[in-house]
Amino acid sequence: MDSAKPRVAIVDGCRTPFLRSGTGFRELMAWQLGQAAVQGLLTRVGVPFETVDGVVMGCVAADIATTNVAREITLGTGLPRSVPAYTCTVACISANQAVTNGACAILAGKAETVIAGGVETFSDVNIRISEKYRRFLLDITLFNRPKTWKDWIPHLKKMRPLDFIAPQKPSISEFSTGLIMGENADRLVKRLGVSRERQDAYAVTSHQRAVTAAENAFFDEEIIPVVVDGNTVDSDNGPRADANQAKLSTLKHAFDKKYGTVTAGNSSFLSDGGAAVMLMSEAKARELGLNPIGYLSHYAYSAQDPVEELLLGPAFSMARLFQETGLTLDEIGVFEIHEAFAGQVLANLDCMASDDYCRDRLGLSGAMGEMDMDKLNRHGGSLSIGHPFGATGARLITTCCRRLKQEGHRYGVVAGCAAGAVGSAILIESAE
């Protein structure tokens, strides 16, 4: 690594509790969860509001009423109306993209301070009316409005009673392939030979680690309590203290009903929450007398085949990151990798440990190496803590920074996969 290369200071990071969708945050809109995270971050750091030059937030299932949710969050927190804000979406790594976009603005000299992160709620996701009803409404209100009662007849003749009441079922499949991500996970683990037992064991470990972390107050420093209807929500409700291999082994297959091994127990669940980090130029952080929790040192993105390699983004993006920085797997002390599915994480680790795969598909001279599981997601991950699509990356970055300080390591990597077969890997350097 080039020690003279400019880095972006990560001043601090925080998040709301991550809750299972349909529970404690079911009445809140996404912008309100994002506002709570950003407001909490501003309060904790204590910089003047006019210091902030921009806000970038990730979001996937955008509410049509607040499509640029970053701007609504910015206005809701009381930041100056002159602060520009935009929303980006790259599926499960939307917050990763928001953070690296903010870092690029700082490195380009276009900003000194950027708030970046993401938000998601599936408690009140938009559900579309039927396509025929949509066409009917568009015709009669915008494109071919009836002027007399006779003009209504051609429109009404195209409709059936159910067209007016039957909604269009929300689709969670990949547009390019038609496959649901869970179906793709089943295909991946079968192809690579990742057993059901390994998947369930990994999921149990994720829950056990998250429960232990909560009991030891690890998350207290990063969670901003949210008041909902007079009640304070201050902890995640996803981690299961009763998770065990025997219980998970009884769950039915969620996708491939005949041969599948991916279940609800070894998959991440729909979640609501928001998260944010404050980025600054090193010079600005020094000027304000702030003590960063880490530095964003480098990043890499990848794109793979959406059928065979949809969930292998971490392996591809980390290979690129290591090629560009000259670092090796063994030199990284902390890994925070998004857990879409237990099988997805294990498949990536298997590929990284394979000489043939690393040479043939990742462009390396040999295997990256075997992952030290004590370095990986030590306090749980998306399988247990939760996965609000747009927010997860900011949580991973905050946790990585805090682990680097606590565990005394120099480098950490945050990585994830996303729909469309996109991968992200971000190199974090300790502030010590």
CA distance 329 to 332: 6
Q: Which of 92, 351, 358, 400 is catalytic?
A: 92
CA distance 286 to 282: 6
The 10 Å Cβ neighbour count of residue 86 is 15
Catalytic-residue membership of 92: yes
Catalytic-residue membership of 88: no
DSSP β-ladder status, 85-88 and 54-58: parallel
Distances (CA, A) of 163 to 138, 156, 166: 14, 11, 6
Residues 6+ apart with CB under 8 A from 299: 96, 100, 103, 321, 424, 425, 426, 427
Answer positive or negative: Cα dihedral of 404, 407, 410, 416: negative
Length of the chain: 432
Q: Which of 88, 358, 401, 417 is catalytic?
A: 417
CA distance 83 to 100: 18
Helix axes 392-407, 94-107, angle to 10 degrees: 70
Q: Which residues are catalytic?
A: 92, 417
